[in-house]
Amino acid sequence: MTEAITLVVNGVHHELEVEPRRMLVQVIREDLDLTGTHIGCDTSQCGACTVLVDGQAVKSCTMLAVQADGSSITTIEGMANDGQLHPLQVGFWEKHGLQCGFCTPGMIMAAADLLARNPDPTDQEIRHAIEGNVCRCTGYQNIVAAIREAASLMAAGGTSAGAAG
Partner 1 sequence: MIPAAFAYDRPTTVDQAVGLLAAHPGAAKVIAGGQSLLPLLKLRLARAERLIDIGRLSELKGVRRTAEGGVSIGALTTYDELGRDPLITTYGLMADVLPQIGDVQVRNRGTIGGAVAHADPASDMPAVLLALEAELVARSIRGVRTIPMRGFLRGPFVTAIEPDEILTEIRIPAPSGAYGSAYRAIEQPASGYAIAGAAVVVGRSGGGSGPLDRCAVALTGVGEMPYRAAAVEAAFLGAAGPAAAAAHATDGVTVGSDIHADRAYRAAVAAVEVRRALEAAIARAG
Q: Of 22, 24, 87, 96, whose CA–CA distance to 56 is shortest? A: 24
Q: How far is the CB of 86 from partner 1 (least distance, A)?
A: 19
Residue 102 binding ligand FES, by CB under 6 A: yes
Find the binder of ligand FAD among 2, 6, 44, 152 (CB under 6 A).
Answer: 44
Q: Using the minimum distance from each CB to ligand FAD, give the nearer residue, 44 or 152.
A: 44
Q: Which is nearer to ligand FES, 129 or 135 (CB)?
A: 135
Shortest CB 160 distance to ligand FES, Å: 25
Nearest approach, Cβ of residue 60 and ligand FAD (Å) = 13
Residues that bind partner 1 (CB under 8 A): 1, 3, 19-23, 26, 42-45, 47, 50, 56-59, 62-64, 66-67, 69, 110, 113-114, 128-129, 131-133
Residues that bind ligand FES (CB under 6 A): 39-42, 44-49, 59, 61, 98-103, 135-138
